[in-house]
Amino acid sequence: MAVQGAQVISRVGLVLRIVSEHAPRGITTAELARQSGLTRPTAHRMLVSLAAEGFVDHDSVLGRWLLGPELYLMGSIAAARYDVTEVAAPSVVSLARETGESAFLSARRGHETVCLMREEGSFPLRSFVLYEGVRFPLGVASAGLAILSYMSDDDVAEYLDRRPLHQEWGEGHSKSAISQRIDKTRRLGWALNPGLILEGSFGMGAAIFDAAGKPAWALSITGVESRYGQDHQPELGRLLLHYAHQVTQQLRVPAGRRQ
């Protein structure tokens, strides 16, 4: 019974994460079933049950499921402990203003990153790979690469052995390719995604560390390839590291003493 109960909880978590990834448009039952690996009847039963508790909501006109009001209330309560956007927001805004690129704050959640905040830059051509709520595995996208690069060697090796990213994200995400980018990130301090998710869309990221010195968040910027030439990358990297360090230092100050 304990195993069965744990399986149900795992499935509920999976369903809610998938629904959150498709905000704000929502997701159909059929698409959720496909992405989760559940049968359509099972996915439908779970969604109906979650809706009855307020965890998801159903748009009967569009036939799509969205996150529900109960999650908003829970999230508001949890934000006091886990949400760093209030601390990081000024740095994200400054990063977008000084680079002209779209700037982001992402958080590590297990073996994924979740985008928490997006601030548009002034440059008219933008990349829309990253947006609030989207998740990527560690090592995919510049934020996840920045975080992965500053995990311990043992944790990195275990993760890459267990998660064959190239099967879903292409040979640019093979174990050897990611390992090379980790070495480069550690050498430079910032991570580069050279159009590996969407051709022509580049990203750069820098890790933010928690009080224990572990990479828990990341700042990143994305834009079109022409904006990320070899001569411009060092300056973008310097700004990323400056603001990532600034947020890291601010997070180490007790909440009651922050300016």
Q: Kindly state whether residues 115 and 241 are assigned to the same domain.
A: yes
Q: Kindly state whether residues 66 and 96 are assigned to the same domain.
A: no
Q: Kindly state whether residues 15 and 99 are assigned to the same domain.
A: no
The C-alpha torsion from 103 through 107 and 110 to 111, rounded to 10°, is: 10
Looking at residue 1, what is its pLDDT? Answer: 40
CATH of the domain at 149: 3.30.450.40
Q: Kindly state whether residues 121 and 9 are assigned to the same domain.
A: no
At 117-158, the pLDDT tens digits run 999 988 766 666 777 888 899 999 999 999 999 999 999 999
Structure tokens at 99: 């680079």
- Provide the residue type at 40 as one letter: R
Last residue in a domain, options 47, 72, 97:
72
Looking at residue 254, what is its pLDDT? Answer: 65
Q: Kindly state whether residues 171 and 128 are assigned to the same domain.
A: yes
Looking at residue 216, what is its pLDDT? Answer: 94
Specify if 78 maps to a domain.
no
For tokens 């508001």, the residue is 76
Confidence of residue 255 (pLDDT cuts 50, 70, 90): low
Specify if 77 maps to a domain.
no
Ordered DSSP codes for 175-211: HHHHHHHHHHHHHHSSEEEESSSSTTEEEEEEEEE-T
Q: Kindly state whether residues 102 and 218 are assigned to the same domain.
A: yes
Domain total in the chain: 2
**Total-model pTM:** 0.72
For tokens 């829309």, the residue is 128
- Provide the residue type at 187 as one letter: R
Q: Kindly state whether residues 114 and 36 are assigned to the same domain.
A: no
Residue-number span of the structural domain to which 99 is assigned: 83-257
Q: Kindly state whether residues 36 and 95 are assigned to the same domain.
A: no
Q: Kindly state whether residues 111 and 207 are assigned to the same domain.
A: yes
At 4-59, the pLDDT tens digits run 678 889 899 999 989 987 877 899 999 999 999 999 999 999 999 999 999 999 99
